[in-house]
């Protein structure tokens, strides 16, 4: 039998195969169970030993040649297909982003970016601390010793007893209940003077329409010489005017209590009732107006400055803590805090911000997408 002719014809057909399907068809036709070359191999069984000696190597060589040709053609077709795909899927990264699919920046992230931008302009750096915090930083160093009644108000998530503080200090680990421990960490790490904000997640075991077990705060801390309440009030006023983008923001400072500030002031912001909605601006004492509690603040307690490794006779400061989610709700008009953390695509599409809408003081710190 003329195996050479069979081989030449097979190789020609393989060469002419137009696509991967055709290659597979040929593989079955030649090498499959019922394939022609498989058939030739079976004829070896009926041959005389001499015949087999002369024919066997030829049939095996034929099968080898066809196998190699199939693999080569297949590889060629695959890389050609890849080239076509790469050419078709090429994107020009200098073009504007496509409309869809489009993700959005969460309002909480947006507001945190806005806060960082506004406070950067006032000379504040952004500081961070761990969400898994130890009892000392979260409570003791903030003038809340063991058995302090204020601890009970924090609805703390504690870790099991075995977990010891990372730095070897006594005390259990917990999920930080506020961003205030960053005050201590920053004083200990950087000394004074200081001007920082510390935005981040905080946790309390509390949950209803206005409370979620995880929420966001931004802490503010200024430590310097001769700092007084006037600095605090000016800073908050300047910040809130920039944040809400209106000049008629009016604040009311009420005496309050926090273990880590002395004196402590709760800050309310005036609002007007417009069509049943609270719109910030104007004095809360004017007819049709009211006051809304916005944040806690005060002069940093001497003991806290000491826990921060500084001399309170030399350094004074003020601190404040604001709910970031609350700020976002007030500015962008959402009414249910829980929706912030549901991950509902419709909510995110509606309230989210364009990734390209980076807040800047010159361009505006809050233009909805």
Q: Which residues bind ligand PHE (CB under 6 A)?
A: 178, 180, 219, 258, 261, 296-298, 319-321
Structure tokens at 286: 């004017």
Least distance to ligand PHE, CB of residue 360, Å: 27
Structure tokens at 46: 């009926």
Nearer to ligand PHE, 200 or 366 (CB): 200
Nearer to ligand PHE, 258 or 353 (CB): 258
Nearer to ligand PHE, 181 or 366 (CB): 181
Least distance to ligand PHE, CB of residue 278, Å: 22
Biggest CA-to-CA distance, the chain:
117
Residue 93 CA: distances (Å) to CA of 96, 100, 205, 285: 8, 15, 45, 54
Nearest to 172 by CA among 156, 155, 159, 153: 159
Distance (Å, rounded) from C-alpha 70 to C-alpha 59?
16
Nearer to ligand PHE, 119 or 320 (CB): 320
Distance (Å, rounded) from C-alpha 9 to C-alpha 36?
12
Nearer to ligand PHE, 21 or 155 (CB): 155
Burial class (CB in 10 A: 0-12, 13-18, 19+), 340: buried
Least distance to ligand PHE, CB of residue 321, Å: 3
Nearer to ligand PHE, 227 or 279 (CB): 227
Least distance to ligand PHE, CB of residue 264, Å: 6
Nearest to 316 by CA among 204, 222, 247, 175: 222
Residue with smallest beta-carbon separation from ligand PHE:
321
Least distance to ligand PHE, CB of residue 260, Å: 6
**Sign, CA torsion 286/292/295/301:** positive
Distance (Å, rounded) from C-alpha 89 to C-alpha 107?
33
Least distance to ligand PHE, CB of residue 222, Å: 11
Rg of the Cα atoms in the chain: 36
Distance (Å, rounded) from C-alpha 49 to C-alpha 224?
103
* Centroid of chain to Cα 53: 72
Nearer to ligand PHE, 104 or 186 (CB): 186
Least distance to ligand PHE, CB of residue 182, Å: 10
């Amino acid at each position: 039998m003329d195996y050479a002719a069979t081989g030449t014809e097979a190789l020609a057909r393989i060469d002419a195969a137009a696509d991967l399907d055709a290659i597979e068809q040929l593989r079955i036709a030649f090498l499959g169970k019922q394939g022609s070359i498989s058939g030739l191999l079976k004829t070896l069984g009926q041959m005389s030993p001499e015949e087999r000696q002369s024919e066997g190597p030829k049939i095996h060589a034929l099968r080898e040649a066809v196998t190699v040709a199939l693999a080569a053609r297949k590889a060629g077709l695959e890389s050609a297909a890849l080239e076509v795909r790469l050419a078709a899927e090429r994107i020009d990264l200098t073009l504007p982003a496509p409309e869809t699919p489009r993700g959005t920046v969460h309002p909480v992230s947006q507001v945190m970016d806005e806060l960082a931008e506004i406070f950067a302009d006032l000379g504040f750096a952004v500081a961070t601390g761990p969400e898994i915090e130890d009892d000392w930083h979260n409570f003791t160093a903030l003038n809340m010793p063991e058995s302090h009644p204020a601890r009970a108000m924090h609805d703390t998530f504690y870790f099991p007893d075995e977990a010891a503080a990372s730095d070897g200090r006594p005390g259990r680990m917990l999920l930080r209940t506020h961003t205030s421990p960053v005050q201590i960490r920053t004083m200990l790490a950087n000394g004074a003077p200081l001007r920082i904000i510390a935005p981040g997640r905080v946790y309390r075991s509390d949950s209803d329409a206005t409370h979620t077990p995880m929420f966001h705060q931004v802490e503010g801390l200024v430590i310097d010489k001769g700092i007084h309440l006037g600095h605090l009030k000016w800073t908050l006023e300047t910040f809130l005017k920039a944040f809400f983008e209106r000049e008629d923001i009016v604040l009311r400072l009420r005496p309050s209590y926090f273990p880590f500030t002395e004196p402590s002031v709760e800050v309310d912001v005036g609002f007007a009732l417009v069509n049943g909605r609270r719109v910030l601006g104007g004095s809360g004492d004017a007819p049709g107006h009211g006051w809304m509690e916005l944040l806690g603040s005060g002069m940093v307690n001497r003991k806290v400055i000491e826990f921060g490794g500084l001399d309170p006779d030399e350094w004074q400061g003020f601190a404040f803590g604001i709910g970031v989610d609350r700020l976002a709700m007030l500015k962008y008009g959402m009414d249910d805090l829980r929706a912030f953390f549901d991950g509902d695509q419709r909510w995110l599409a509606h309230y989210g911000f364009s990734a390209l809408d980076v807040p800047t003081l010159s361009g505006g710190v809050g233009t909805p997408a």
